[in-house]
Chain A
Amino acid sequence: MNGGRRAGRQSCGAAVLCVACAIGVRGAAPHAKKATCATCHPAQARPQPATGMGIGMELPPDQRLLREHPKLTLEANGYRYRIESAHGKSTYTVSDGSGELTLPVRYAFGVQSETFVLEYGGRFYESLVSYYHPLKGLGITLGDEGLRPRSLVEAIGRQTSDQEIAACFDCHGTGGVKQGKLALDSLQPGVTCEHCHAGAGKHMQAIAAGKAAAFPRKLGTMAAEEMSNFCGQCHRTWETVVSLGLFGEKNVRFQPYRLANSRCFLGDDRRIRCTACHDPHTELVRDDASYDRACLSCHDLKGAAPVGAGAATPKACPAGDRDCVSCHMPKVRMPAGQAIFTDHQIRVVHAGDPYPN
């Protein structure tokens, strides 16, 4: 199968981990286990569902975060916001002192921090307030700080276009979008194997039935540029960020964009691709020192690390050889403190430097 920026992701109504069929490769055993991706790929498929990406979103009655915080309030822009949870159901209420609007919270996007997608009048809205883990409470949704609602309906949040909301569900869930249109009846929360490994379901079914199987593309063959565009389908590609003019500190959360701006981003080199540092099948590692190995794969003090043709020789850091990211990938706190992101624009940082776009 040819390479391609968008290879590996198909809208699919069969994005399931379990297949109810007997293993027929060497004759079906009377009590054959049901095949899943984890049957053959346990290292990847077992931990993945519990990761942030694997969870992706919470649907009732499994909205754990809202269950743990059954009453959340915030006053902003002259409106009062209240998110309440009880008996497996959550509601989002906005009031202006003289009236109020209450909507069910069906879709909570995210894991540690959550933004809510609400429905009103046949349209979808991105909630104006979100739960942010660093705040341990509600804050204005990132990107919506400039909104000044003039009515209760506007105060719900930002109305989304059909395309945008389809993209939201497509990244935070599986099976909820078919041919560009919402198909929420078949929505499963979270990024499943099929999401990235297009054809995984058919592959598994074929193997389980003892038939010759087509193999999904080996994503490990991608170099940095291609993988940046692949992961950027959800984490925002360099092109998406630039064409939308998303400049300023808020673009720190778009890692493919930030990484591509790094001086050391060599598009045909695998050592700077997303998976050089991150295993998408396991939870994000927050120990900064663990990333040193990736940095030193190029910036080897012994100077023996070859890089792509035409690239400058990577320098060894004169200040140290450990905890590289603590200096070269600073943490950026959002202005209202809602979130802290690691800036993936790798660089030499000087005190007082402005945020580089």
Chain B
Amino acid sequence: MRVLFVTVLLSTIAAVGGKAASFDELAEKAAAARRANQIPEAIAFYRQAVELRALWAEGWWFLGTLSYASFQYADCQDAFDKFVKLDDKRPLAWTLLGLCEFETGAYDRALDHLRRGLAGEDLAPDVEPVARFHYGLLLSRAGNFDQGRRELERYARGAAREPMLVEGLGLNALHERWLPNEIPAERRALIEKAGIATSHWILGETDRAESGFQELLQEYPTAAGVHYLYGFYLSSTRPGQAMAELRRELELDPANADAAAMLALLLMHTEDTAKALRLAEAAATEQPSDALAEYACGEVLAETGDARTAIAYLEAAERLDPAVLQYRMALAGAYSQTGRYEDARRERKLSMEMAARAHAGD
């Protein structure tokens, strides 16, 4: 019905005065319709105008934003795809392109484009949270769980009211590479429980988090990721118990590189460095694209005195996830130990800048 309406409208507009409208006329009419909040008319005029002048960036811009507002994601995607080829400096364009691609299922492109958009400044305050949430979902889908968690945990407070948020947190927490609409029915309850417990954890509601995790363990004692999640939760406060949980996870899922990496780091603190190194090396070999595994290997090597070998692993960790302060600081320390003073100073300077940004407003 909408298509028919637009076609009739286009025909009517084109026939105005019995002659084809000029570009300038169409552009003026499009702007007027937009300002009058006549969205379908505006879309129609902009579409005609860009057919006459394909290099008119503003036309593609408004076609994109109006299509997005009308939930016409395929059209929005097409319009912003054209726009960014003409002007690639607008973060909002990349962001909206990414969001439309999310809706049309072009997930890999969506991830790249949201990353690009979010790297810019001054995104509209009503767009950024939506963008970051979808970016977090896509990062998790791509296996970048640490980065995904950092995006999603901003919205933990809203999880109580929004099922998609709960699902997003749960998927990330259990390292499942699905989007919420892809969760198999038989896994949904587990994902939701994990998401709720994780949201309590993020919000510092320790009693609720603890009881949430206990429920999860009781109901799903052999589900992949559950013991890892609880071990992660315990790692900074109850390391002994955390190690037991991580060991259990590795019994159930020997390929869980993050569990191996985390266990290696905990063992390092108990000075069982030989075992820690074996675990860390195995994790990094198994999953060279896993930043935590690379970091764990680097840290344990540095701890055993082999800072030179550690550097390669720590550089890999930083490259894979440059937003993690810990990786950068560890790399600075390894550079310092091996006489690479300027490299150490550079990393320390960057680390301090990162930390200052993170703690701004404390």
Contact = CB atoms under 8 A, between A and B. Distances in A.
Question: Are A and B interaction partners?
Answer: yes
A112 interface: no
A245 interface: yes
* Interface of chain A, main secondary structure: loop
Nearest to A357: B352
A107 interface: no
B319 interface: no
Interface in A67-114: none
Contacts of A243: 325-326, 329, 355
B239 interface: yes
A225 interface: yes
Contacts of B341: 266-267, 308, 310-311
A223 interface: yes
B303 A6 contact: yes
B351 A242 contact: yes
Contact of B352 (A6, A7, A180, A242): A242
Contact of B333 (A10, A225, A266, A310): A225
B199 to A, nearest CB: 21
B338 interface: yes
A297 interface: no
Interface in B171-213: none
Interface of B: 236-237, 239-240, 269, 271, 273, 302-305, 325-326, 329-330, 333, 335-342, 344, 348, 351-352, 355-356, 358-359, 362
A238 interface: yes
Contact of B338 (A239, A247, A268): A268
Could you tell me the dominant secondary structure of chain B's interface residues? helix
B225 to A, nearest CB: 26
A80 B105 CA distance: 65
Nearest to A309: B339
A6 B271 CA distance: 8
B19 to A, nearest CB: 68
A179 interface: yes
B56 to A, nearest CB: 48
A2 interface: yes
A2 B326 CA distance: 23
B299 to A, nearest CB: 10
A176 B330 CA distance: 30
Contacts of A309: 339
Contact of B355 (A2, A223, A242, A268): A242
A47 interface: no
B53 to A, nearest CB: 52
The 3 closest A-B pairs by CB, nearest first: A267-B336, A245-B359, A3-B305
Interface string A297-337: 00000000000111100000000000000000000000000
B336 A179 contact: no
Given A245-B355, A308-B341, A180 B240 contact: yes
A10 B335 CA distance: 27
A261 interface: yes
A180 B325 contact: no
A229 interface: yes
A247 B335 CA distance: 23
A268 B337 contact: yes
Contacts of B269: 6
A239 B333 contact: yes
Contacts of B338: 267-268
B344 to A, nearest CB: 6
Interface string A238-261: 110011010100000000000011
Contacts of A247: 352, 355-356, 359
Given A3-B305, A260-B336, A267-B337, 13 more contacts: A2-B305, A4-B271, A163-B237, A180-B240, A242-B325, A242-B348, A242-B352, A245-B362, A266-B339, A267-B335, A267-B336, A268-B337, A268-B338
